[in-house]
Amino acid sequence: MELELRHLKTVRAIADAGSLTRAATALGLAQPALSAQLKRIERALGGALFVRGRHGVRATALGELVLERSRIVLPAVTELQQEAARFARAPRTAERLRIGGTHGPLLGALLDRLAGVAPDARMTTCTSWSERELAGQLTEGRLDFALAGTCGTASPPAGEGLVWREVAVDPVFVMMTDGHPLAHRAEVDLTALADEEWACVPGDGCFGDCFTASCARAGFTPRRMYETDTASLVHLVQVGRAVGLCRATFPTTPGIVTRPLADTPLTWRHLLGWHAATQRRDTAAAVLAQARMAHASVAANSDSYTEWMSAHRVP
């Protein structure tokens, strides 16, 4: 026999009553039926729970252990039942949106737009440098949508049932201190940066390999690459330690300029992902539309990006 909650309630009733007779009355059972049930419970637990005497019953050491645990388990189960009942009765007009993303201005812009079109929605976010981690959370049902990215035309993170749609494609820019000798140029040739040290944010895609390949085509090997968080990357650029690689939408930052690379050797593709089995098509289409508008607003706030788009006649 497997132990059930009703068995713990029976043991608790016997201990509270102090005798099988009084416990049987409280439980609405005949004493022989209660005695038989207690024996089954004791067999399931491996020993006697009570010692019977002239003045009633007294818990054994095993009985004290079971009673101590039941003082925790039974109230917890009661609280769970009450909370579940309240949850079931509560109106659920507010939608929940769990959105993940890699670090960058696009995630914040998307949240801002969603808050405007769905003011009652309850939104939570999860950020990660790993596109594969975000894909795993979509597959496991821990995220509703995820903003991720790939280098160039690389495939998006794999996952059974996942759907990925393109939000936008950006050129990769370089960031440098505003006192850098090349800071005044409209575009910077990669070969002109052959003697620099570099910095970028980490990731688990092919971006590092693609950058190295671009440098090789330009005739040099990068001296050093610092993979670090955004704040440290900005600091390394501001003090002149390194030139940074960034998305074209990188926000304006004091002491730093962002410049496009000539001939656009590197691009970054923004993607929105969800699981086909858990998202309605109309909801996914609406979030995708908001993500694309969020990207447009972020791009419009970057002077260097808008100048690049104008020069390349990008609408």
Q: Which of 71-75, 94-98, 165-169, 254-258 has the lowest mean pLDDT?
A: 94-98
pLDDT number for residue 158: 86
Q: How many CA atoms lie within 13 A of 2 on its CB side?
A: 2
Question: pLDDT tens across 43-85, in order?
Answer: 988 999 999 888 889 999 998 999 888 888 888 888 878 777 7
Could you give the CA distance from residue 153 to residue 267 in angstroms, rounded to a whole number? 9
Contact 60, 49 (CB under 8 A): yes
Residue range(s) of every CATH 1.10.10.10 domain in the chain: 5-89
CATH 3.40.50.1240 fits 5-89, yes or no: no
Q: What is the pTM of this model?
A: 0.68
Strand partners, 275: 162
Residue range(s) of every CATH 3.40.190.290 domain in the chain: 94-314
CA-closest candidate to residue 242, choices 195, 187, 180, 199: 199
Contact 112, 123 (CB under 8 A): no
Contact 103, 284 (CB under 8 A): no
pLDDT number for residue 91: 52
Q: What is the mean pLDDT of residues 296-307?
A: 89
Q: Which of 133-147, 235-249, 294-308 has the lowest mean pLDDT?
A: 294-308
pLDDT number for residue 118: 85
Name residue 121's amino acid.
A
| Furthest C-alpha separation in the chain | 100
* DSSP annotation string for 39-53: HHHHHHHTS--EEEE
CATH number given to 94-314 = 3.40.190.290
